[in-house]
Structure 1
Amino acid sequence: MAKIFVTDAAGENPVPFLRGILTRSLTEAGLGFDEAYQLASEIRQQVDDSGSVTNDALFVLVRDSLRRSKSAEIAEHYASRRAPDTGLLVRHSNGDLLPFSRTEHVRCLAACGLTEEEAAHASGMILSDISSRQQREIASDELRARSQHCLDIHFGRRAAERYRIWMDFIQSGRPLILLIGGAGGSGKSTIATELAHRLGIVRTQSTDMLREVMRMLIPERLLPILHRSSFDAGDLVEPPRDGERDPLAAVVAGYQRQLELLAVPCEAVITRAIRERVSLILEGVHVHPGLAERIAARGDAVLVSIMLGVLKPEQLRARLRGRQRIAPERDTRTDPDNFRRIWHLQGHLLDEADRLGAPILLNDDQDKTATLVLRTVIDVLDSTEAAA
């Protein structure tokens, strides 16, 4: 299949057409993932022969397809999310004069704990206020002050204060290291992806991938416990000499052995991000709350450790079954015995988070949980600011 490029109105500045990006835009407009992916594939086929398409033409094509095949409401929701060309210029403190970015503005507003819809609405109100004054140029400090004032009036003083804290952090240039732990099925990778989008963080890593690299380097015959899942690694742990083997105690013992093995690559990834002053999201079952304590004194990075949990067994089973459709090799995870192990491991992780004072968030709803994580980040930044 030939590569397709999306250009500006003049046919310049081409960027590759990415079906995944369009799929995400369609899900944000209200389609389910399968519907969004299918429509994105159909749109790609429609522009396949031309080799390129302008932003405006692509937008019209998608909007009209939604009106025909889905609903006018979804089509309008999709259209409303498009950032208009306002012509507004922002003068930054270093003297640079750059076009106003609605996407970046919404992202900064969402980072203070608003939902994406609330952030988009707030950005629209702020932009309308600026337009009503017939301003074509605005200083970045004035834009920030207007944004904070809007949040204070429409979303409350705490929202405005969270925005101030986040903008101060952005301007400080310090990296954010966000650590997300939880048992299988708790939604770690989904939440990490959503947070990377909302915060504009480009560097993410999973402990599953770090473990897979280690497996390539160290064959199973040399280190068999590394090649097991976190919940059944305990099968390879020697039972105590003075008692019978406790299967659930072995789950924790096996996990701890893997945790020791993954600690070095996890610390290496974090240390490099801190050295390069790049924000990072590290997620996985091996992200233990104690990891943050071991690296807390390195550099000036802000470390936030979160533990996710799902306290309804049927909900966790449903999520594990959903993962089976994507990765069939994981189909043993909903077996009664293995599910019991995963449930027990989750209990251990939540106990550890509670013991070490790491925030525990129950992930019943992706959007709400992502917003709660953002507010937790702001709270940590606030406490760090107060301590300084």
Structure 2
Amino acid sequence: MIIVTDRERNTHLPFSRGILTRSITLAGVDVGIAYGIATEVQKELEILGRRFVTSDEIRDLTYLKLRDHGLEEEARRYVFWRRFKRLKLPMVLLIGGTTGVGKSTIATELAFRLGVRSVIGTDTIREVMRKMIGPELLPDLHTSSFLAWKTIRSSGRRGEVVLWKGFESQVKHVSVGVNAVVERAHREGLNAIIEGIHLVPGYVNLTENSFMYVITVPTKEDLRARFYERARYSRRPAEYYIEHLDEIMEIQGFIVDKAMEHGIPVLENVELEKTVSMIMENMMDRMMRRVKSLKG
């Protein structure tokens, strides 16, 4: 057994290929390749007969292995993320976008790579608020986001502006709970990922180390395909959402407009790996500027 010692944390733990693999994927390396590199690191330590090794030595050896594989940029990212974690800066990541664009899948993948244990959906926050506030007080809270327009009393028919107003009203109410979660995470120095349709730029109070992204799909046909695929693994029937594709796409347009207005990155989710990598790259660039400002 190889024991990894960390002088700063005063820990002595067995070497884990799984933990090292996760650290390497954080740099944007495919899981399979990352596991292979972690295995190479372990085998080299065994050949050298190392029973005890420091975490810094693991970092340096992994860096060299990444470069040996031609992964120069990934090696640089790996070293940065290792150093950033030691700073223990709290981080809140918010993933917004309309129904069916892949927010939950992206959030789960990011949680794995970042080692974040808490992933919260705004639908969960809304469900808690529903138990506390009845439909007679906030009717829009008790319906689907793309049907909230029906609770607007000023109009008897569905229209584009009315749809936006209904959704916007729901967003304002759910944002009360979202902002409470963000504020608590910032106050207590916690890491968290929040995902959901109710994360609309302009309604969420972003803190110093919070990162927000809006996810989209290119066309209505792409969204239709995603609903059918999602229905294979969940109890949510595709037909219910496909019946309201026009409304859902209009909500996407509303969210994108708000993102453009507030300077929030909008990412088209065509391929999961590419989308996750873009988010990780953007976060790293912004964090590097943050770390440099702290040093300055």
TM-score past 0.5 threshold: yes
**SS of 1:282 mapped into structure 2:** strand
Query: Are positions 1:274 and 2:181 aligned together?
Result: no
Q: CA deviation at 1:194?
A: 2.0
Structure 2 counterpart of 1:264: 176
8 Å contact kept, 2:149–2:158: no
AA at the equivalent of 1:373: I
> 1:299-321 CA deviation, whole Å, 9 max, x = no partner?
xxx21111111113212012223
Which aligned pairs between 1:104-123 and structure 2 lie closer than 5 A? 104-123=19-38
Query: Are positions 1:90 and 2:4 aligned together?
Result: yes
8 Å contact kept, 1:324–1:331: no
Q: CA deviation at 1:145?
A: 1.5
RMSD: 2.2
| Distance of 1:289 and 1:132 partners within structure 2 | 53
8 Å contact kept, 2:172–2:203: no
Structure 2 counterpart of 1:368: 274
8 Å contact kept, 2:183–2:207: no
Q: CA deviation at 1:183?
A: 0.4
> 1:211-263 CA deviation, whole Å, 9 max, x = no partner?
111111111122211112111212222558xxx97711222211211111011
Which aligned pairs between 1:173-192 and structure 2 lie closer than 5 A? 173-192=88-107
| Distance of 2:70 and 2:94 partners within structure 1 | 28
Q: Please, which of 310, 315, 318 is the counterpart of residue 222 of structure 2?
A: 315
| Distance of 1:226 and 1:329 partners within structure 2 | 21
Structure 1 counterpart of 2:49: 134
In 2 relative to 1, CA 110–288 (structure 1 residues): closer, same or farther, beyond 3 Å?
A: same
Structure 1 counterpart of 2:252: 346
**SS of 2:212 mapped into structure 1:** strand
| Distance of 1:230 and 1:382 partners within structure 2 | 37
Q: CA deviation at 1:284?
A: 0.2
Q: Please, which of 266, 275, 290 is the counterpart of residue 384 of structure 1?
A: 290
Structure 2 counterpart of 1:334: 242
> 1:145-201 CA deviation, whole Å, 9 max, x = no partner?
222222234243321221122111211122221100010000111211222223221
In 2 relative to 1, CA 117–234 (structure 1 residues): closer, same or farther, beyond 3 Å?
A: same
AA at the equivalent of 1:288: V
Which aligned pairs between 1:23-102 and structure 2 lie closer than 5 A? 87-94=1-8, 95-102=10-17
> 1:60-81 CA deviation, whole Å, 9 max, x = no partner?
xxxxxxxxxxxxxxxxxxxxxx
> 1:357-385 CA deviation, whole Å, 9 max, x = no partner?
22222222223323333223222212222
Q: Please, which of 66, 79, 87 is the counterpart of residue 164 of structure 1?
A: 79
In 2 relative to 1, CA 157–359 (structure 1 residues): closer, same or farther, beyond 3 Å?
A: same
Query: Are positions 1:226 and 2:226 aligned together?
Result: no
| Distance of 1:303 and 1:134 partners within structure 2 | 43
Q: CA deviation at 1:100?
A: 0.8
8 Å contact kept, 2:152–2:162: yes
Larger mean CA deviation between 338-347 and 121-130 belongs to 121-130
Q: Relative contact order: is structure 1 or structure 2 higher (C-alpha 8 Å, sep ≥ 6)?
A: 2
8 Å contact kept, 1:114–1:371: no
| Distance of 2:74 and 2:252 partners within structure 1 | 33
Larger mean CA deviation between 358-367 and 214-223 belongs to 358-367
8 Å contact kept, 1:113–1:372: no
Greater C-alpha radius of gyration: 1
**SS of 1:142 mapped into structure 2:** helix
| Distance of 1:202 and 1:210 partners within structure 2 | 17
Larger mean CA deviation between 278-287 and 156-165 belongs to 156-165
AA at the equivalent of 2:59: R
Q: CA deviation at 1:286?
A: 0.6
Q: Please, which of 291, 300, 305 is the counterpart of residue 212 of structure 2?
A: 305
8 Å contact kept, 1:184–1:320: no
| Distance of 1:268 and 1:93 partners within structure 2 | 36
With normalisation by structure 1, the TM-score equals 0.70
8 Å contact kept, 1:350–1:360: yes
| Distance of 1:369 and 1:121 partners within structure 2 | 23
Aligned length: 292
Query: Are positions 1:252 and 2:164 aligned together?
Result: yes
8 Å contact kept, 2:186–2:207: no
Where structure 1 has 5 or more consecutive residues not aligned to the other structure, the ranges are 1-86
In 2 relative to 1, CA 363–158 (structure 1 residues): closer, same or farther, beyond 3 Å?
A: same
| Distance of 1:259 and 1:273 partners within structure 2 | 20
In 2 relative to 1, CA 133–291 (structure 1 residues): closer, same or farther, beyond 3 Å?
A: farther
